Amino acid sequence: MPDPLFIIAPGRSYTSLVGGMIGQHPDIYGLPEVNLSAIDTMGQLLQRLQGPFDFGLAGLLRLLAELHEGEQSEEAVVRARQWLSERRHWTTREMWDHLQEEVGDKIMLEKSPLNNFRIEHLRRLLDIFPNASFLHLTRHPGTAGKSSMALREQLREGRGAGGEGQKTRSMDPEQGWLRAQKNIMEFWHDLSVGQYMRVKAEMLLREPEFYLGQICEWLGIRTDAEAIEAMLHPEASPYACMGPPSAKFGNDPNFLKNPVIDFDRLKKIKEPPLEAGAEWRGGEAFYKDTLKLARQFGYA
C-alpha cells in the first residue's frame, strides 16, 4: 500500500483548498479531517470528541459512511457512529489500516489542523507511517491571523462550524500560528531528506497548475494534463460539501460552502510586508520568533 501524504500547517493556511485540490489527483484519496493524531485508540477518540467537541468527529464519520455505504446520508452517518463505537478497542493504527484497505491503492491525504497542535501528534503519525510524506503549507502570519479572527467572528455569530469550545477561544491567532509552526519546524528534524516539502500557499494558489505539478513530481505520481486538470476541481470530492445534520462539517465551513476555485481571486492573494504587523492588534509588530520563521518561509 502507498504511504500517505499529510498536509501540515497552522489553521487558516489554505489547507482546505490546497488539500481539496491535491486530493482530486487520480492517484490520491483526499480524506476529510479525521483527527486521529491526538489519540491511540478509538475509545480515546470518542471520549475526547464528545459534547461541545463532537464536531471533531464529523470528518471521520462522513468518511466511514462514504467508504462503507457510498453515501453520507444521516442514516449512513448514524450507522458509521455505531460502527465506530463498537471498535473502541481499535488502535489508531488499526483504524488507519482499515481506511487504507477501503481506499485501495490510492495515497491517502489528510490535513487535520489538530496534527500540528502538539509535536507528539506529528510524531504519532510518523510512528505509524515512517515513510509518509509531509507537505508543509505556509501562509503569511498577518493574513492567516486576520482569517482566524474573521472565522472566530463567524462562530460567534453562529454562522460557522465548531462547538462551544471553538467559540470561546480567545488566544491571539499569532500565538496559534507560531505554536504550530514551531512544532512543524521541530518535527522537520525528525524527517529524512525528501520526506518533507514546504511551499508558500500564496505562491501555489497564484499558479496552481505549475506548483501542483511539482508536488506530483515530488510524490512520484502522474503529472499529465488530465491529472492536473482533475486537481483544479476540489468541488468534485464527495466531502466538498456540507454533511448531514449530525456530521455537518469535517473541513473548513467556508470551503464546504463554496469549494469551487475562484482563479481570479487567487491571483490577487497578497503578502503584506511583515513590517505591517498584526492588524488585529492595531498594527503592533509580530513577535520576534514569528518574524524569524516567516522570513525563513520567504515572507519579507
Partner 1 sequence: MKDDQSNPFRFVGRAGLGKPDATLAHAMCWFEGRFYLGTTTPKCNGPEDRARIMTHDPETGEWEVLFESPLLESTEECRARVAARSGEMGKRMAPPEAIAREFGVRSMAVFQGKGDPKPCLYAGVMSVWGGLVLRSEDGRTFEPVTEHGIDNDTYLSFRGLTPFEGKLFTSPAGTTSRDYADLNYVPNSLVYVSADPAGKEWQLASTEGFGDETNSAVFSLCAAHGWLYAGTANEKTGFQLYRTKAEGKAPYQWEKVLDRGAWRYHFNLSTSAMAEFGGDLYVGSGISGLGYDREFDIGPCAGELMRVHEDGTWHLIFGEPRITPDGLKIPLSGYGPGMNDPYNSVVWAMAEHEGRLYFGTHIWEPFDYAINGGGESLRGGYQLWSSADGEEWRKEIDEGFGSVTSTGLRTLQSTPNGLYVGTCVHTKLIAFQAKRHSGIQDINHPSCGFDVLLGH
Cα 146 from chain centre: 18
CB closer to partner 1, 238 vs 298: 298
Q: Which residue, among 90, 174, 169, 168, has the nearest Cα to 139 in the 3D structure? A: 174
CB closer to partner 1, 22 vs 34: 22
Q: How far is the CB of 202 from partner 1 (least distance, A)?
A: 12
Point out which residues bind partner 1 (CB under 8 A): 193-194, 196-199, 203-204, 211, 214-215, 217-218, 288, 291-292, 295-298, 300
CB closer to partner 1, 39 vs 293: 293
Q: How far apart are CA 123 and CA 68, in angstroms?
A: 29
Backbone φ and ψ for 7, nearest 5 degrees, come out as -90, 125
**Sign (positive or negative) of CA dihedral 98, 101, 103, 109:** positive
Give CA separation, 142 vs 18, 103, 297, in Å: 19, 37, 14
Q: How far is the CB of 24 from partner 1 (least distance, A)?
A: 19
CB closer to partner 1, 161 vs 204: 204
CB closer to partner 1, 193 vs 268: 193
Q: How far is the CB of 293 from partner 1 (least distance, A)?
A: 11
Q: How far is the CB of 72 from partner 1 (least distance, A)?
A: 33
What cell numbers appear for 44 in the block?
A: 480515546
Q: How far is the CB of 205 from partner 1 (least distance, A)?
A: 13
Q: How far apart are CA 61 and CA 184, in angstroms?
A: 27
